[in-house]
Structure 1
Amino acid sequence: MPRQLDWSTLPFFLELARQGRLAPAARRLRVDHTTVSRRVAELEKSLDLKLFDRSAEGFSLTEAGRGLLPHAEAMEAQALAMTDGRDDASAGVQGRVRVASMEGIAAQYLARRLPRLARRHPGLMVEIVTSPALYNLTKREADISLSFAPVRGPKLTIRQVGGFGLFLYAAPSYLAEHGTPETPAALAEHSFVDYVEDLVQIPEVHWLLDAVPAPRVAFRSSSMYAQATAAANGAGLVLLPSFAGESDPRLVPVLKPQIRAERPIYLAVHEDLAWVPRVRETVRFLEETLRADRDFLMDGAPEN
């Protein structure tokens, strides 16, 4: 006969289900991996069910584990509701929100805007995490994703909340030495800065080919900021998002608006977190900011 369920074992089950391995689950829970293994074993014993298949590749849910997962997630959501009951008008929005994005958006757009949110809600602490690949919200690697490629996963709310234009930029010193191209056809005589092709993990980031079909590339980097710095030091022309190029005093636009590309901006949040006050307010702020900055983002108009 199954013993009484110990509710404190459920977070260990959830994290192992999301991460698939003991070490990442332990890091998320801030315990050692033996604790995760022991608490999951206690849960299996109390339910008299095998919840995971164990292999060299990690842990995968059994049929019983898959059946338990939505119930455990519902309990987690209810626990969040209780702990976030403090986020009322008198206490203010409080807690930590993690926003995942690409390096360029994070460093050259979000980092300039999010301090306004901190001033609006002093009890809120926002973390920006970046990666050349998309974060997994289902595994709770972040609370919110803001990217130009939609993330994938169950129970995610994903919508387009804006977009940005990309334009060519160059250093005045480069143009003085090589001349300023007056027509798109003249770009055949110029050098370009681009991404390292075999390191591009998100196809949408290889945007130079959208605007210049056969560029003569002289410098490559997996970092957009490194590309901008190389262009600023005379390496060649670079295609940058408006939020990066227009804000860089080292660069000037070239053939704008004849040469341009566009990318959408998608916002994603897990359904279980969308209504949590600290997450909801961060989402609202991001949507408001993107709407207010639309002309700047799409056309490179002066910033608000």
Structure 2
Amino acid sequence: MFDWNDLVYFLELARQSRLMPAARRLKVDHTTVSRRIAELEKSLSVKLFDRKPDGFVLTEHGHRLFAIAERIEQEASSVQQALGSDASTATGRVRVATMEGIAAFFLAERFTELAVGSPGITVELVTERHLISLTKREADVFISFVHPDGQRLVVKKVGSFRLALYASHAYLALRGMPANRAELASHTFVDYVEDLIAIQPVHWLLDVLEPTNVAFRSSSMHAQQNAVAAGAGIALLPLFSAKANPMLVPVLPDEVKVYRDVFLSVHQDIEFMARVRSVSRHIANVFDRDKAYLNEF
């Protein structure tokens, strides 16, 4: 007999493609996931997955069931909303994906505020260098510096942040403060690893110049900032991270002004879930409230 509860295991395996990640998300043993999928296939008398070396791939029947199961999931999640639940009663896990720098230096501490008003919500803050697919449920909410493309996405601009050139006191004592943009060409820089840049707007130093002398590169903005603070050179850094480090000194702040917009994306299927809506609203509110912190020295 068909068991509705098996759809939970089916959806997670379809999204994760592997037993172990699906099991971790569901907080069960991987053998439980395998068994429930086998029982679901038996009860429906269809094959839902092809077992491939790189994971579980939905069959044609699997794709059909996936669309139905997602609608059921959405309807089930909307019960609290329909009965008048609010942020204080919203519960569950919400996975937010974004870039490392803004996650570590801005969002992380501000999510502690959410816990006060919505104690039942657990935020999972995931950092990635590439664009996240909300359609594949790689996350529930995506914070990006570019407007993402995808079917049935709800995307809105929630704010912006400024970047500026920074160096350390030690570096400037040794090399001197550049008097203008033209003098930057003779200085040493800290930058991203070019072939590891997955989102081109993140290579923001190119908005100022293409440096000829780079002493240190890293795929981590946090590592770049630490290198600059240690005297490795000049880097273009977001104000939300650099201004918190007293070792960093702005370089040509009146001449060099670079900005990036911030976009919040949610899939239409889950945008009205109470927990997702609470997290999305909180993110939008902090970007609006802290816009001066993000854009002014």
Q: Which residue identity lines up with residue 252 of structure 2 in the other structure?
A: L
Structure 2 counterparts to residues 147-226 of structure 1, below 5 A: 147-151=144-148, 153-226=150-223
Deviations along 1:175-214, whole A, 9 cap, x unmatched? 1211110111100111001112233233222211221123
How many angstroms apart in 2 are the aligned matches of 1:124 and 1:26? 21
* Larger CA deviation: 125-134 vs 203-212: 125-134
**1:301 maps onto 2:296 in alignment:** yes
Q: Does residue 1:146 correspond to 2:105, yes or no?
A: no
CA distance in 2, matches of 1:91, 1:252: 42
Of 48, 55, 71, which aligns to 1:51? 48
- Residue 109 (structure 2) aligns with: 112
Contact 1:15–1:139, Cα closer than 8 Å, also in 2: no
Larger deviation, residues 250-259 vs 20-29: 20-29
Task: Establish whether residue 29 from structure 1 lines up as the match of residue 26 from structure 2.
Answer: yes
Structure 2 segments unaligned to the other structure (5+ residues): none
TM-superposed CA distance for 1:122, in Å, is 3.7
Report the more deviating stretch, 68-77 or 81-90. Answer: 81-90
Counterpart CA distance in 2 for 1:88 and 1:281 is 11
CA contact (8 A) 2:197 2:219 kept: yes
- 1:176 alignment partner, SS class: helix
Match of 1:103 in 2: 100
Q: Secondary structure at the match of 1:39?
A: helix
Does the C-alpha gap of structure 1 residues 30 and 121 become closer, same or farther in structure 2, counting only changes over 3 Å?
closer
Q: Residue type of the partner of 1:64? A: H
Measured after TM superposition, the shift of residue 152 of structure 1 is 5.1
**Equivalent position of 2:274 in the other structure:** 277
CA distance in 1, matches of 2:148, 2:6: 29
Deviation at 1:42, TM superposition (A): 1.8
Equivalent position amino acid for 1:88 in 2: S
Deviations 1:85-109 (A, max 9, x none): 7883595444433322211101111
SS of structure 2 residue aligned to 1:116: helix
Question: Is this contact kept in 2: 1:87–1:277, CA < 8 A?
Answer: no
Shift of 1:55: 2.3
For residues 98 and 196 of structure 1, do their structure 2 counterparts lie closer, same or farther at Cα, with a shift above 3 Å needed? same
Query: What secondary structure does 1:127 align onto?
Result: strand
CA shift digits 1:114-159 (9 cap, x unpaired): 2332333344333322233344433434321112134555443222
More relative contact order, 1 or 2 (CA 8 Å, 6+ apart): 2
**Once the two structures are superposed, what CA deviation does each residue of 1:219-261 show, in whole Å capped at 9, x if it has no partner?**
1122211111111111111100121122322111111132232
**For 2:141 and 2:95, how far apart are their aligned partners in 1?**
6
- CA distance in 1 between counterparts of 2:119 and 2:35 reads 39
- Count of aligned pairs: 297
* TM-score, scaled relative to structure 1: 0.88
Query: Which residue among 284, 287, 290 is the counterpart of 2:284?
Result: 287
Provide the secondary structure at the position in 2 that maps to 1:5: coil
Does residue 20 (structure 1) correspond to residue 43 (structure 2)? The answer is no
> 1: CA distance between counterparts of 2:108 and 2:17?
32
1:234 aligns with 231
The residue type paired with residue 129 of structure 2 is P
AA aligned to 1:224 is M
| 2:49 is aligned with 1:69 | no
Residue 134 of structure 2 corresponds to: 137
Match of 1:79 among 76, 80, 85: 76
* TM-score (normalizing by structure 2): 0.89
Contact kept in structure 2, 1:136 and 1:151, CA below 8 Å = no
Aligned-pair identity in percent equals 51
- Quote how far apart the aligned CAs of 1:68 are: 1.6
SS of 1:100 mapped into structure 2: strand
- Identify which range, 214-223 or 175-184, moves more after superposition: 214-223
Question: What SS is found at the alignment partner of 1:7?
Answer: coil
Q: Which ranges of structure 1 fall in alignment gaps of 5 or more residues?
A: none
CA contact 1:87–1:93 (8 Å) conserved in 2: no
The alignment's C-alpha RMSD in Å is 2.4
